[in-house]
Amino acid sequence: MLEKQALAGFAAISQETRLRIVRLLVVAGAGGMASGDIAAKLDNAAPSRVSFHLGHLEQAGLVTSRRDGKQIIYSVIFPALSDLVAFLMHDCCEGHCKYCDRAIALFAKCTGNPTYEDREATNAKNA
């Protein structure tokens, strides 16, 4: 990731509402969330306000949208978030930290879908 891209990403999430939106979308996973549902989770924020912030996140390359009937569904772009983490951690310990290298590699694999092990743990916990 280039520094310019990292700056755009960090600038986008440096605003409180946009950070909250990204966190909501991370929890929603790959399926994403409708803009109306996002507004509801943001204390019934005005749709125009939510649209404004989602536009900033899309422009920064952190969020994508798709139409589903009359709704617009927004999803976080997981590789973009992992790239931001990697940008910060890449040179940890002068570039020689096996733990950070593993964490970066694991973040890069995230697709926003639960892994089999995650589902199994959830099912066992709920049983």
Q: Are 59 and 67 in contact (CB under 8 A)?
A: no
Q: List Cβ neighbours of 17 (8 Å cut-off, separation of 6 or more).
A: 42, 45, 49, 53
Predicted structure pTM score = 0.82
- Regarding whether 9 and 56 lie in a shared domain, the answer is yes
33-87 per-position pLDDT tens digit: 999 999 999 998 999 999 999 999 999 999 999 999 999 999 999 999 999 988 8
Same domain, 43 and 91: no
- Work out how many domains the chain is built from and give that number: 2
Segments forming the whole domain that contains residue 43: 3-77
